[in-house]
Amino acid sequence: MGEPAVIEAAYAEPRLRVLFPFPSHGALTFHRNTQDPWSNDLPFIVGDVESCTVYAPLGAPQRVLGQSLTPQEAAALVVAHLPPDCGPAFDGTWPPPENSIDRTSHRAAVPIRAVRTR
């Protein structure tokens, strides 16, 4: 399970809400598709309510995009670094089938669900 404050901040961002979230080991990654193998080409957040770091995808020349951020700042920074053609996530594996003209022909993914905190 992910950090509730980070998940809630991501859910508040409409462009992140349509991607497939994957919380694991303190990180919240976002994907263009819903089944393994995932896209793994988008920035992601590592952190908690106290402090977050935003990382670029593997292979990017600048790996750390921001440090010591609030969850809201981290989510906004991820949005600022999304490719223009990103979203909504489609149901299937990555990459999309070659005969697919665009990803919108796939079924929409289940969006991020809001997490209730006490």
Per-residue pLDDT of the chain (118 residues; tens, 9 = 90+): 679 999 999 999 999 999 999 999 999 999 999 999 999 999 999 999 999 999 999 889 999 999 999 999 999 999 999 999 898 999 999 988 765 545 444 444 445 554 444 4
Please state, as a whole number, how many other Cβ atoms lie within 10 Å of the Cβ of residue 35. 13
> For residue 99, what pLDDT is reported?
54
The encoded tokens of residue 24 equal 């694991």
* Element containing residue 71 per DSSP (H, E): helix 71-80
Predicted TM-score (pTM) of the model is 0.81
Angle at alpha carbon of residue 94, lines to 83 and 82, rounded to 5°: 15
Residue 73 burial (10 A CB sphere; 0-12, 13-18, 19+):
middle
Report yes or no: 7 and 16 within 8 Å, Cβ to Cβ: no
The encoded tokens of residue 90 equal 């489609």
Looking at the DSSP assignment, which residues form a beta bridge with residue 31?
Answer: 20
The C-alpha atoms of residue 22 and residue 34 are separated, in whole angstroms, by 9
Residue pointed to by tokens 């793994």: 40
